[in-house]
Structure 1
Amino acid sequence: MSSALPRAPLVAIVGATGTGKSQLAVSLAQRFNGEILNADALQMYQGLPITTNKLPLEERKGIPHHLLGCITLGEEPWTVKQFLQRATGIINEIRSRGRLPILVGGTHYYIQSLLFRDALIEEGETDGNTLEREARQWQLLDASAEDMLTELQKVDPDMAMRWHPSDQRKIRRSLEIWLKTGKRASEVYDQQKAQRFYVDSGRDPSAVPDGSDASAQCHVRYDSLIFWVHAPSKVLNSRLEDRVNSMISHGLLEEVSSMQSFLQDQEQQGSSIDQSRGIWVAIGFKECLPYILDKNRAENLKQDGIERTKIATRQYAKRQDRWIRLRLQRAVNAAHLADHMFLLDATDFSRWSDAVDAKAKDITAAFMGGFALPKPNSVSDAAMKMLASPEEEAKSARHCEACDKTLMFHSQWISHLKSKSHRASVRPKIDWKKLYPKTNGH
């Protein structure tokens, strides 16, 4: 069975740091006449190849790489909107050369924003300055999660049911949509589903009348194929430890020293740099800075910095996987793209050629040729376990009064009801004194 050829093909590669995303991107680019678009926010900075884990030039195999080293150290960090503007332009240029754009990187919010068009989000969901201005304009957005949820329950009860009571950012975003547009977030998302129906059925989304139930601000930006290169934490942590050791031996501390020298020069010139964002939050800089600043270069400070770099790297990898599981997968399912997202099992690097590279090439060849794709959960045992269906991803907050616990997913709710702790909480309490009252003398 075959399907239509992709009109605007894009291959996206996601996964935690250390799983081999860049290696796969180069291999696919060699096989399918591709060019690589970087979606790692820190690798966009000039220099610092060790701190930001840039792929060495010799390992790029002559494949053009875009958005690498395009921001200077003293430049303001890019917003998501800036990334989108540059990335979409570059993708068009790659296509004009008859080549395949391959998107790869660890800043998964950038990737998700590029794959899915959402006008409301593109106004600046992650722009801290924007959110601060809105917080001043709407005092309610500065309230506690509990107070915001109470208000959201009044104006949009359907949306309020979707969020965990402590998920302040999501509750705030739903309330923000109401304040900005006068529309309930639940209505906006219903419109998005209608828009996707038009796209999936081959009808022209631009022909949908504004204001109709089928008009929306969100749809898939490209015909996308998504690869999730995955390795379990126990395996990945060992690789990440080796990676940090290699970074140290190849000059990480020298790069940290050069970054600190740049900061000092800027301060002497009267310029101040916000070290809470941009390249200054790169793992390894703050962790190793105490050793660099110590005049005696104490060995214990060096070892402490290395250990903290390893810990931060492991934590970052977990956050990346969490984003894919809880955010990207849900967006993919909502856009009816679940059959275009494939998990590749990179647990055993000795089997990389068969388990990752060959499978990715076979799937990409089918995608580019308009042939039927395999079922994503058939690619590997790991894929069967980790690729959730849209039904499993459906969220609806349910609160267990007996246990005072809120569950967001249906599967979690079912598991909770079967748990020993819940059964113990709802088990009728026996009043033994009433059942067996004491009598005088007994």
Structure 2
Amino acid sequence: MISFVDPLVSNYTVVDFRDKAVALIEDIFARDKIPIVVGGTNYYIESLLWKVLIDTKEKAGTAPGPVTDRRVELEQLDGVELHRRLSQVDPEMAAKLHPHDKRKLARSLQVFEETGIQDYQHGIFQSIGFKEFHEYLVSEGNCSPETSALLLQKGIQALKQVTKRYARRQNKWVRNRFLRRPGPNVPPVYGLEVSDGLRWEEDVLKPALEIVESFIQGREPPAEPVKMEYDVSENKRSHRVCELCDRVIIGDREWAAHTRSKSHLHHLKKRRKLEATSRAAGTSEDSGAGAETPGEESSSPLP
């Protein structure tokens, strides 16, 4: 499952991944082999552990026909014709491309035909490693070598920054979904020291292989799995009722997680807004209670 989705496909979902991956995993098991899931986001890995995702795509009544590669079809045309067609839909892009560069011309036309826009920054191209090099890619052959080198370095620095942010989000996901509230199907999580690239084999490769080999051989690995620190006074059987969300929560940790959840905070915000509106209405009524109605005489005695 590497490089099997066309970059222009924008409706590929985690459900599609789950369905295809599960079929392959079952096939590997049927051959008495052990499947190893490598790479990808934790969200996709989670889809293999908890089968809670629902396929919402409409199923066609007939089997799909063969998929044709539109770019290959376009490349069969003459370069001058491709350049003429591109000039009609995107003159700016056509001006950057030579009529002999049939591959890029066909690619540009394919993007326009399938998306209606001349912009490849959608779908898989929103992934880290693509959009950071947009300026460098579109300027290829249209600027000096010095400018091209600067744009390349700019893309590399942007890639490093977004990768660091992504790594922090992934670590947070692991803590919240795999460590804080582990379910019965969650495997142990092992941490590896990856900060020193020069010690990759000693700190990453060797211990990772030892963990995998231990699993295959049915013995405890030499490394200890990562565990979240918890309060010894924590009550896993505590019983609380959230009247705001109309839910029963079991366990101190689950209650703490619930009070931080988006659903609870949404209901809390909604209630506070209603209370503020009620107070404002009450204040308005109180301030008008002692006012005299125009045309009525005051009951105060004359001096």
Could you state the TM-score of these two structures normalised by the residue count of structure 1?
A: 0.36
Answer 1 or 2: higher relative contact order, Cα 8 Å, separation at least 6: 1
Q: Which residue of 2 aligns with 1:251?
A: none
* Letter matched to residue 2 of structure 2: L
Q: Which residue of 2 aligns with 1:357?
A: 205
Deviations 1:317-372 (A, max 9, x none): 22332233221232223225777110111333443333223322322233233323
Q: Which residue of 2 aligns with 1:109?
A: 43
What runs of 5+ residues in structure 2 fail to find an aligned partner? 58-100, 235-251, 266-303
Q: Does the CA contact (< 8 Å) of 2:29 and 2:35 recur in 1?
A: yes
Q: Which residue of 1 aligns with 2:135?
A: 290
* Letter matched to residue 122 of structure 2: R
Structure 1 CA distance for aligned equivalents of residues 178 and 214 of structure 2: 20
* 1:294-333 → structure 2 map (5 Å cutoff): 294=139, 296-299=142-145, 301-333=147-179
Q: Does the CA contact (< 8 Å) of 1:275 and 1:281 recur in 2?
A: no
What runs of 5+ residues in structure 1 fail to find an aligned partner? 1-66, 128-256, 378-382, 400-405, 407-442
Residues 1:83 and 2:54 are matched in the alignment: no
Structure 1 CA distance for aligned equivalents of residues 112 and 187 of structure 2: 55
Deviations 1:257-276 (A, max 9, x none): 99864542225657536745
Q: Does the CA contact (< 8 Å) of 2:8 and 2:123 recur in 1?
A: no
Q: Which residue of 1 aligns with 2:116?
A: 272
2:217 paired residue among 348, 363, 369? 369
More strand, by proportion: 1
| Offset of residue 99 of structure 1 | 1.1
Q: Does the CA contact (< 8 Å) of 1:290 and 1:305 recur in 2?
A: yes
* 1:230-245 → structure 2 map (5 Å cutoff): none
1:345 paired residue among 164, 177, 193? 193
Residues 1:388 and 2:228 are matched in the alignment: yes
What value does the CA root-mean-square deviation take over the aligned residues?
3.9
CA 117–315 in structure 1, closer or farther in 2 if over 3 Å, else same: farther
Task: Please give the secondary structure, in 1, of the residue aligned with 2:36.
Answer: strand
| Offset of residue 302 of structure 1 | 1.9
* 1:122-141 → structure 2 map (5 Å cutoff): 122=54
| Offset of residue 81 of structure 1 | 0.6
Task: Please give the secondary structure, in 2, of the residue aligned with 1:72.
Answer: coil
| Offset of residue 87 of structure 1 | 0.3
Deviations 1:221-260 (A, max 9, x none): xxxxxxxxxxxxxxxxxxxxxxxxxxxxxxxxxxxx9986
Q: Does the CA contact (< 8 Å) of 2:136 and 2:151 recur in 1?
A: yes
CA 358–316 in structure 1, closer or farther in 2 if over 3 Å, else same: same
State which structure, 1 or 2, has the greater radius of gyration over its C-alpha atoms. Answer: 2
Structure 1 CA distance for aligned equivalents of residues 164 and 103 of structure 2: 27
Structure 1 CA distance for aligned equivalents of residues 192 and 112 of structure 2: 50
Q: Does the CA contact (< 8 Å) of 1:332 and 1:338 recur in 2?
A: yes
| Offset of residue 310 of structure 1 | 1.8
CA 289–322 in structure 1, closer or farther in 2 if over 3 Å, else same: closer
* Letter matched to residue 109 of structure 1: Y
Q: How many residues align?
A: 193
Deviates more, 1:86-95 or 1:263-272: 263-272
Structure 2 CA distance for aligned equivalents of residues 258 and 108 of structure 1: 39
Structure 2 CA distance for aligned equivalents of residues 341 and 317 of structure 1: 21
CA 291–308 in structure 1, closer or farther in 2 if over 3 Å, else same: closer
* Letter matched to residue 388 of structure 1: M
CA 114–276 in structure 1, closer or farther in 2 if over 3 Å, else same: farther
Structure 2 CA distance for aligned equivalents of residues 283 and 319 of structure 1: 11
* Letter matched to residue 328 of structure 1: V
Please identify runs of 4+ aligned residues in structure 1 that moved more than 6 A: none
